[in-house]
């Protein structure tokens, strides 16, 4: 699961997550399922963008 790749790590590391890392953590994916790892990467980055947009008082980690 992608959350296990970022859980307990700094936000700056979560932003570095790639779809390749997700696929590797799942011991590879069939070719027709690679899009799932892309969706996981995008979902995490979109969630962080949304969080910072809703909390402008919190400095964004890069």
Give how far the C-alpha of residue 20 lies from the chain's centroid of Cα atoms, to the nearest Å: 11
Indicate the average pLDDT of the chain: 87
DSSP code of residue 10: -
1 vs 7: CA distance, rounded Å: 10
pLDDT the model gives residue 6: 86
Question: Residues, the chain, total?
Answer: 62
Q: Does the predicted TM-score (pTM) go above 0.75?
A: yes
User: For residue 58, with 0-12 CB atoms within 10 Å meaning exposed, 13-18 middle and 19 or more buried, which class applies?
Assistant: exposed
pLDDT the model gives residue 35: 92
């Amino acid at each position: 699961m992608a959350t296990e790749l970022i859980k307990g790590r700094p936000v700056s590391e979560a932003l570095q997550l790639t779809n390749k890392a997700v696929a590797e953590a799942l011991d590879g994916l069939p070719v027709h399922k690679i899009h799932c790892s892309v969706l996981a990467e995008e979902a995490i980055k979109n969630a962080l963008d949304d969080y910072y947009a809703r909390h402008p008082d919190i400095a964004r980690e890069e």
